[in-house]
Chain A
């Protein structure tokens, strides 16, 4: 029994197929955005660490929030569904000399010559969430 074009079984099936196809297209169109999401969060964290520790720019966590809309923290955040951990590394100043030209005194600050000027603090860490 045919009641009209829009209420036939064939028409309804076609509508379902079209709707399913459309949802798949929509899902795929969002695929790359989802895939890039974590790397994007990581980029925010690395930029923050690089600017702050490698370039000495006094950027703050609230600066990042206002500029990117992302939340960045140097402590592990609690209760965030998606958090990406970012790192950057800065070697320590040799013998604590911030300049390339430096004066040292034997027995006072020359112990730096006896071992590598490196410790855990070279690792800079940030956690970024949406």
Chain B
């Protein structure tokens, strides 16, 4: 091998090696970037499913309280079935809630695996009482990742529609009405709202509670 041949071969080896190394580095960078995006997607779906579950109690409370007021609120005689109203309100609110958690990068869906609502005998001075529970799953997904978290909530909803007042030593069911909606779980009351109905209701044919 003469001197010219040596440098020519060495140069070729260097150029080829440099080209291979550069191609490898580019491929590695692209691969690392892709891995970074996948890692971010995995974190995002986990966070979004967690967010969905985190606010589940609020969705339920919002539903059952709104249903309680729509059904009994500042009215002398409730009509219909509270549980049906509460169930459909919860389903509707959950669907709407899901739409807020979904975006172009992350899909989101909440589905009710099971729910119940039963009238129970009031024992704490309320007029009506219901046990309400739901087992719901929250799923977030992207094209490469998916995460589901389930959450179970159970409450007792207590409603007092109006209270009697004493006028001249006589019980009279009229005048300003105070409605109370309370919700408790195994830890105690989680919500207790008083509503001053500020109206006189006609209680003809409606006995005092």
Contacts and interface: CB of A to CB of B under 8 A. Distances in A.
Interface of A: 1, 9, 12-13, 16-17, 19-20, 23-24, 27-28, 30-31, 34-39, 42-43, 46, 84-85, 87-91, 94-95, 97, 100-107, 110, 112-118, 120, 122-123
A100 B191 contact: yes
A42 B93 CA distance: 29
A46 B189 CA distance: 30
Given A19-B17, A91-B62, 9 more contacts: A9-B13, A34-B32, A35-B36, A43-B43, A94-B62, A94-B65, A104-B196, A110-B73, A118-B97
A23 B21 contact: yes
B44 A20 contact: no
Given A23-B21, A106-B197, A110-B73, A38 B36 contact: yes
B116 interface: no
Nearest to A8: B6
Nearest to A11: B10
B76 interface: no
Contact of B32 (A35, A84, A88, A123): A35
Nearest to B94: A116
B192 A100 contact: yes
B69 A113 contact: yes
A31 B51 contact: no
Contacts of A113: 65-66, 69-70, 73
Contacts of A42: 40, 43-44, 47
Contacts of B197: 106
A12 B13 contact: yes
Contact of A38 (B39, B58, B190): B39
Given A35-B35, A36-B39, A102-B194, A91 B58 contact: yes
Contacts of A90: 55
B37 A104 contact: no
A27 B66 CA distance: 58
A91 B55 contact: yes
Nearest to A109: B195
B111 to A, nearest CB: 18
A112 B198 CA distance: 17
10 contacts: A1-B3, A27-B24, A27-B28, A36-B36, A38-B37, A39-B42, A89-B100, A102-B193, A117-B62, A122-B100
Contacts of B52: 89
Contact of A105 (B13, B43, B96, B195): B195
Interface string B174-195: 0000000000000001111111
Given A46-B47, A89-B55, A118 B96 contact: yes
B156 to A, nearest CB: 15
Contacts of A20: 17, 20-21, 24
B2 interface: yes
A20 B25 CA distance: 10
A19 B25 CA distance: 13
A8 to B, nearest CB: 8
B88 interface: no
Contacts of A43: 43
